[in-house]
Amino acid sequence: MARDALTGSRIRERRAMGGLKQSDLARQVGISASYLNLIEHNRRRIGGKLLLDIASVLNVEPTALSEGAEAALIASLQEAAQRARLDESESDRAEEFAGRFPGWADALAAAHRRIADLERTVETLSDRLAHDPELAASVHEVLSTAASIRSTASILAEDKTITDDWRDRFHANIDADSRRLADSSKALVGFLDAETGEAAPSSSPQEEVAQFLAAHGFGFAALEAGEADIKAVVTDAPDLGSAQSKLLAHTVLARLVQDSESVAMADLQTALAEVGPDVIALAARFSVGVPLMMRRLAAVPGIEAGLVVADRAGSLLFRKDVEGFTIPRHGAACPLWPLFQVMGQPGQVIRSRVEMPTRDGAVFDCLAAAEPVGPMALNVPPLLEATMLVLPVPDDATRGNPVVEQVGPACHICPRSGCPGRREPSILSDGFGDF
């Protein structure tokens, strides 16, 4: 049936939704109830002034009656019908369904699209897991070790004539394999934990340092007070298993101690109580650079503030998480962060209010600044380092403020669609509909 031929069905549906009797509507638009009945059963065509009058009484746009649901909605419903293997006669009634039950039709079409998106996402994740070399290696190790244990244990259990030499050898093999199985199982769990964003064993020196700093709450009072030695702290840290991570941690702590010589924690806390977390004012008060003041603020015990430091290549050199502002563990971060905007304007401080795509749309004030680092040399461009302080904004402070930049954590874990900064599909979006 043609779409405009269903105008009557839509009038009937809208009238019923509004609780209006057929006779009342007919009277209000100046026609007989029997004629309206013919119209509502699509036995009389309708247009012109009468359609406008009926639309006015029903308080809807005339096109909602004459054109019905959008083509995309009809297409989604027909697709849903095909997926459900409904008869063609049923599928052909999609528009009639949409016209009579617009709310249900929208819900069904949305559910169908959501299912399709989720199916694509599951396929993609399955594909990633199937081809992930780390996961494949872990699973192979677990299964191979289990095979060895099962085979050897069966021999010991079933063969009563086995010699002492063989028995001892198999006992030793089972002992070794059981320990190996425990290790490989832990590695597998660690991998899966990392995939779900939970705590996982460190996979790189940078990760080890991040865990080490988090374990200390990013505070090292004894070092700042000169009561402890950086080398001893690093050497004794159980989180720092590799020489590379120890070296990186040493560099981070050396900078922390150096910063504390310019801005002592006790003095900073006094100033904070007087002027609040105003980075510019605090930097001026202590006569230090803004990036240094950001680092000091992020180190204040109990303050809810995140910190990210990156080099010009976009590598994250330091990160301190704050709830709701996800800083990616691997790969590049969101290119829309103010952290990267300041790379082209060293010395300028940018303040930007941003929203993360969390369920409740967490909002943060980000302050970012870039500065040259390392030794200066003639005709050699300086190395740049950008620092960004991330301060959560209370809900009541964000109401009615339209100037909020939409950012994300990193493309591969960002659900935003239509983002100009997107570099790769996300595993969290509604499938990969944008692509």
User: How far out from the chain centre does Cα 69 lie?
Assistant: 33
- For residues 152 and 204, which CB has a smaller minimum distance to another protein in the complex? 152
96 scored as a contact of another protein (CB under 8 A): no
Stretch that binds another protein, among 17-25, 96-104, 165-173, 267-275 (CB under 8 A): 165-173
Give the count of beta carbons closer than 10 Å to the beta carbon of residue 244: 14
**Whole-number Å distance between alpha carbons of 325 and 363:** 9
- For residues 147 and 247, which CB has a smaller minimum distance to another protein in the complex? 147
As separate numbers, helices (DSSP H) first and strands (DSSP E) second, the chain gives: 20, 6
185 scored as a contact of another protein (CB under 8 A): no
Strands 405-406 and 349-355: parallel
159 scored as a contact of another protein (CB under 8 A): yes
Closest CA to 98 of 125, 67, 134, 144: 67
Residues of this chain, 188-247, that bind another protein according to CB under 8 A: none
Stretch that binds another protein, among 44-52, 97-105, 153-161, 289-297 (CB under 8 A): 153-161
Helix (H) or strand (E) holding 422: none
- For residues 156 and 200, which CB has a smaller minimum distance to another protein in the complex? 156
- For residues 115 and 136, which CB has a smaller minimum distance to another protein in the complex? 136
Closest CA to 389 of 345, 344, 338: 338
170 scored as a contact of another protein (CB under 8 A): yes
Closest CA to 358 of 406, 404, 426: 406
Stretch that binds another protein, among 24-32, 40-48, 170-178, 281-289 (CB under 8 A): 170-178
Stretch that binds another protein, among 37-45, 88-96, 163-171, 215-223 (CB under 8 A): 163-171
Strands 363-373 and 349-355: antiparallel
Q: How far is the CB of 168 from another protein (least distance, A)?
A: 12
Binding mask 311-350 vs another protein (x if CB under 8 A, - otherwise)? Answer: ----------------------------------------
Residue 45's identity, in one-letter code, is R
389 contacts 298 by C-beta, under 8 angstroms: yes
177 scored as a contact of another protein (CB under 8 A): yes
171 scored as a contact of another protein (CB under 8 A): no
**Whole-number Å distance between alpha carbons of 58 and 62:** 10
Q: How far is the CB of 134 from another protein (least distance, A)?
A: 15
Residue 273's identity, in one-letter code, is A
Binding mask 346-385 vs another protein (x if CB under 8 A, - otherwise)? Answer: ----------------------------------------
Beginning with the edge strand found earlier in the chain, give each strand of the sheet holding 316-320 in spatial order. 316-320, 306-311, 383-392, 363-373, 349-355, 405-406
Size of the site for another protein (CB under 8 A): 22
Name residue, tokens 């952290």. 339
Binding mask 122-151 vs another protein (x if CB under 8 A, - otherwise)? Answer: --------x--------xx--xx-xxxxxx
β-pair partners for 322: 325
β-pair partners for 385: 311, 371
- For residues 134 and 311, which CB has a smaller minimum distance to another protein in the complex? 134
Binding site for another protein (CB under 8 A): 130, 139-140, 143-144, 146-152, 154-155, 158-159, 166, 169-170, 173, 176-177
